Amino acid sequence: MYRSLVIKVGTNVLTRPDGRLDITNISHLVDQIAGLKAVGISLVLVSSGAVGAGREIMSFSEDTGAVAQRQVLSAIGQVRLMELYRQLFASHGLLCAQVLATKGDFRDDLHADNMLNCFRALLHDQIVPVVNENDVVAVTELMFTDNDELAGLVARMLQVDALVILSSVDGLYDGPPDAPGSQLIREVAAGDDSVLQFVQEKKTAFGRGGMATKIRIATSTASVGIPVLLGNGRKPNVLDDLRTGQWAGTTVKA
């Protein structure tokens, strides 16, 4: 059983087709995370969804620019998202904490050390760190590709036993996931970029990433000794597989 994890949950797992928060599924994921904590697993949650949360409570006039819209939606949505996480984790007797980051925080040694010390203190006190990109100030060169990249950097920083990336598909397929005959690829070797030939460059309406990004982050993370598990965050009790070691999705081996 893994002792330490980074679990990244994507926008398409946390939101409904209209882009608003899927509270039922978020609640189910928190229940599973609480179950992992109960058996002694130390974990960090990297969560998308702030922009979707902002969409629930704000609309814009037509003359508002796209960048400004994202900044505003993220700023107000992060508060909504964290309050939801606070309530859901509290129902299990757990505290959670917000950690917002930009790519610059990992490039600067002082910022990186401060972040590492914060993570260590939170995990020592059994608090669940909830990490997201700081979309309010992260523009152009400060932006991560998406939260998959952020999750990979956090996993490396903490040297966890595994990185879990949850999306709305079971993992990497050798064809379109919804096509008859497509087979799930159960294992990928670290650094094996040849599997990118199977990737469908399709993104969800509200997410920034796609399977190509996930595979690139997964293979690079696995190449430094951290296995990466790709799975379906909408599958009931998907995180329970982490207790048995029988992962139902794709494993990128360390």
Closest CA to 102 of 36, 54, 41, 149: 149
Rounded distance between C-alpha atoms, residue 31 and residue 95, angstroms: 13
CA-based radius of gyration for the chain: 17
CA distances to 8, 50, 112, 216, 252 from 120, rounded to whole Å, are 18, 24, 12, 27, 26
Asked if residue 25 belongs to a known ligand binding site, the reply is: no
Rounded distance between C-alpha atoms, residue 113 and residue 109, angstroms: 6
Write down the residue that tokens 């997410």 correspond to: 207
Asked if residue 167 belongs to a known ligand binding site, the reply is: no
Asked if residue 8 belongs to a known ligand binding site, the reply is: yes
Phi/psi of residue 117, nearest 5 degrees:
-65, -35
Going by the annotation, the residues of the binding site are: 8, 48, 135, 147
Residues of each annotated binding site for ATP: 8
Annotated binding site for substrate: 48, 135, 147
